[in-house]
Amino acid sequence: MGMEEEIDDFIAVLLTEHGLSKNTALAYEKDISQFAAFATQRGRGGWQDVQREDVAAWTTALSDAPPLRHSSEVPATAAKAPAIRQPVNARTLARKLSALRTFAKHLVATGVRRDDFTALAEGPRTRRPLPDTLSEAEVGRLLEAPPLNTPHGLRDRAMLELMYGSGLRVSELCGLTLQSVDLEEGFLRVLGKGAKERVVPVGRKSIEALRNYLSSPGRPFFVRKGTGSALFLSERGVALSRKTFWVHLKGWARDAGITRPVKPHLLRHSFATHLLAHGAGLREIQEMLGHADISTTEIYTAVERKRLVELHAKHHPRRAMRVG
């Protein structure tokens, strides 16, 4: 396949297999096509020819915006992408690089390339404070803390699984109704900020926890006369409040041996960071989190880089070598 055909194949995968919206897929296509045009101008005839230095040169060009011109010999892929006429800001650069990284992983997964040509690419530095996250091991202990033999344990286990498994805000979690959940299809309809509704996937563990909670002695234990359609109920048979959930969360964190403060948003941050670490694209994470601006999501790339640096410093055999 040529460069354009590979991009079209990738976009089809995003739409059909990943279920991304058309607008999100088109944004991917625009950013990747722009890089394809740039690589073509550097003499690359196909994706197998692209080198890591092409990515570095592209990010430099995006930042410095030298006047690039298309020649009559540039193929259709390049024609679809505008020349770089003016510098882009750090947020836009991070978004473009994220799109290219996701595409490069697709090329490796489909056998087009043996290596990821974006592996060492550096994005723009951020000055925003990094959100705190739990490790995957800490999350595992926390999710298993509520017992499965009590109504309260079943409820809290389902809430924790769902918050981490779908990246919900605590207000979204507590605002869920029975009608919000489709366990057969594996998704939730969530009402987020600005009353914007989005659809988020529900993982196997979350579905299992929800089924257990919806059965006796779970949610039926909390139902009272006049109870409405709220999914997660308190002792009074009404929707569990955010404050009460936070109190319960702190208790389960102590039981899990987590000594630092654990707030509800920590599970949302952990959801995004762990997805990124396991290969999810930034735009997919943006959609699931319900961020209006991708710059809000970009902070998790810095979290993952920091984790890798710390992992190297802790485990590399030459970490303690002295100079001189």
Question: What is the CB neighbour count within 10 angstroms for residue 237?
Answer: 15
Angle between helix 282-289 and 299-315 (nearest 10): 120
**269 labelled catalytic:** no
β-pairing, 181-182 vs 197-201, is unpaired
Total count of residues recorded for the chain? 324
Catalytic residue among 101, 155, 274, 291: 291
Catalytic residue among 106, 169, 219, 269: 169
Say if residue 100 is exposed, middle or buried (CB neighbours under 10 Å; 0-12, 13-18, 19+). Answer: buried
**268 labelled catalytic:** yes
Q: For residue 133, give the amino acid letter.
A: T
Catalytic residue among 42, 128, 193, 305: 193
**265 labelled catalytic:** yes
Catalytic residue among 42, 265, 305, 306: 265
Catalytic residue among 113, 268, 269, 274: 268
Catalytic residue among 28, 164, 213, 300: 300
Structure tokens at 23: 């607008």
**106 labelled catalytic:** no
CA-closest candidate to residue 10, choices 113, 82, 110: 110
**105 labelled catalytic:** no
Q: For residue 263, give the amino acid letter.
A: K
Cα 31 to Cα 38, 81, 308: the distances in Å are 11, 8, 26
Counting Cα atoms < 13 Å in the Cβ hemisphere of 270 gives 22
d(C-alpha 309, C-alpha 291), whole Å: 27
Which residues neighbour 79 within 8 Å (Cβ) at sequence distance 6 or greater? Answer: 37, 70
**164 labelled catalytic:** no
CA-closest candidate to residue 223, choices 211, 208, 235: 235
Are the C-beta atoms of residues 232 and 239 closer than 8 Å to each other? yes
Say if residue 300 is exposed, middle or buried (CB neighbours under 10 Å; 0-12, 13-18, 19+). Answer: buried
Provide the 8-state DSSP code for 200: E
| Catalytic residue list | 169, 193, 265, 268, 291, 300
